[in-house]
Amino acid sequence: MASSLDHRPAPISSPPYSLLIALALAVALSPSKSTAASNTSMDRFTADRRIEMTAHARPPFDAELEPALDAVPAFFTTLEPDSIAEFRAATTRPSSLDEVIAGRPVQVTDHAVTGHGGGEIVVTVLRRSGHEGAAGPGVYLIHGGGMVGGSRWAVAPMLVEWVLEYGAVAAAVEYRLAPEFPDPVPVEDCYAGLEWFAGRADVFGFDPRRVLIGGQSAGGGLSIGTTLLARDRGRPMPAAMLLMWPMLDDRNETVSAQQIDGVGIWDRTSNETGWTALLGDRRGTADVSIYAAPARATDLSGLPPAYIEAGSAEVFRDEAVALASGIWEAGGSAELHIWAGGFHGFQTIVPTAAVSQRAIQARESWVRRVLGS
């Protein structure tokens, strides 16, 4: 299935008091050295209390971002299993490519690709109309949606801009979703799509050594999971990873996961819902691969340079920081940004806010260095 579509659309156009109290209580409850040395159960109790108190205090939302939270559906904050269908319906509606492309010279083709276990997936390829040459970059983006929703059209606006600005050939994969298609289907579908795309670099006209892989939320986690698969299977690696507020850790035990509970976008209950849909009873056990949940990886050597970003007021903050630290520990390259006051996906929900503009500019500066070189 390869349909070519020419589109002509219209341009896209100080810590809170409660936190201070919690910190003071944590200090007051901390045991002395002599007590700690003699009572490990008290150590555990104190640690548990710190986590419990921290869960009631969280970084404040940016004042310019916070009003937008009043307008989002409840399941964008807290997703329960019985709301997955509603969430999926709200996040998989196809965008109008005509509106995204806005009459600019971009050609779009859809391709049927064999995914995990022989199932069919779709990879959409975008390139400038009349594109020639084979020295330019490739881009392979993976959409978000908590492993249970979303579609490839969510990344189309970003891809269109990079096709036109950098002469890139870009692809977006429609991987199959949990819970109907649990692990390892999503990450293996993404890997199959990348192999297919890179293997046709000569057909589409790009340098397979210059492929940027990336994604938002679940797509960020799937991007590094796919890259780890390529590394461990001895296959050609992407040249860089763009990990936007990535979903990495099924255990849901970080401080930030404790803090974001019933507030913001994609809270800890949502995270549990998404990971359980993907992993079932294996979630939080030792029986979870590094490709499904990259936070499980203890060896992050041999990975390409990464750009990692998250908000200070979202579940994925601490796992993003841990990922960057693990890459640095392994001698790799990572650029990390944690944006003060940002909730999950704030740049896409309130793109005109000052913090969103700073985040977008920083990301685009990194992308320019990768794709424009």
Within 10 A of 171 (CB to CB), how many other CB atoms are there? 31
Q: CA–CA separation, 109 vs 3, rounded Å?
A: 5
**Domains located in the chain, CATH noted:** 17-52 (no CATH), 62-371 (3.40.50.1820)
- Token digits for 46? 């104190």
Strand extents, DSSP E, 314-368: 334-339
**Amino acid residing at 110:** D
Half-sphere exposure of 50 (CA within 13 A, CB side): 16
DSSP 58-116: -PPPPTTTGGGGGGS-HHHHS--GGGHHHHHHHH-PPP-HHHHHTT-SEEEEEEEEE-G
| Residue 243 pLDDT | 98
| Residue 82 pLDDT | 97
| Residue 43 pLDDT | 46
| Residue 339 pLDDT | 98
| Residue 97 pLDDT | 83
| Residue 46 pLDDT | 41
- Token digits for 356? 């969103």
Return the C-alpha torsion angle 288, 290, 293, 295, nearest 10: 120
Q: CA–CA separation, 79 vs 25, rounded Å?
A: 32
What is the mean pLDDT, run by run of 10 residues, along the chain of 373 residues? Answer: 36 32 31 38 43 68 98 96 96 79 95 98 96 92 98 95 97 98 98 98 97 98 98 97 98 97 98 98 98 98 98 98 98 98 97 98 98 86
| Residue 134 pLDDT | 85
Element (H, E) at 28: helix 17-29
| Residue 95 pLDDT | 66
DSSP 163-193: HHHH--EEEEEEPPPTTTS-TTHHHHHHHHH
Question: Could you tell me which of 330, 316, 118, 119 has the C-alpha nearest to residue 215?
Answer: 316
| Residue 101 pLDDT | 92
Residues 339, 358 contacting (CB under 8 angstroms): yes
Q: CA–CA separation, 336 vs 320, rounded Å?
A: 8
Residues 84, 148 contacting (CB under 8 angstroms): yes
Within 10 A of 166 (CB to CB), how many other CB atoms are there? 20
Residues 274, 255 contacting (CB under 8 angstroms): no
Pairing between β-strand 138-142 and β-strand 169-174 as defined by DSSP bridges: parallel
Q: How far is CA 49 from the centre of its chain?
A: 31
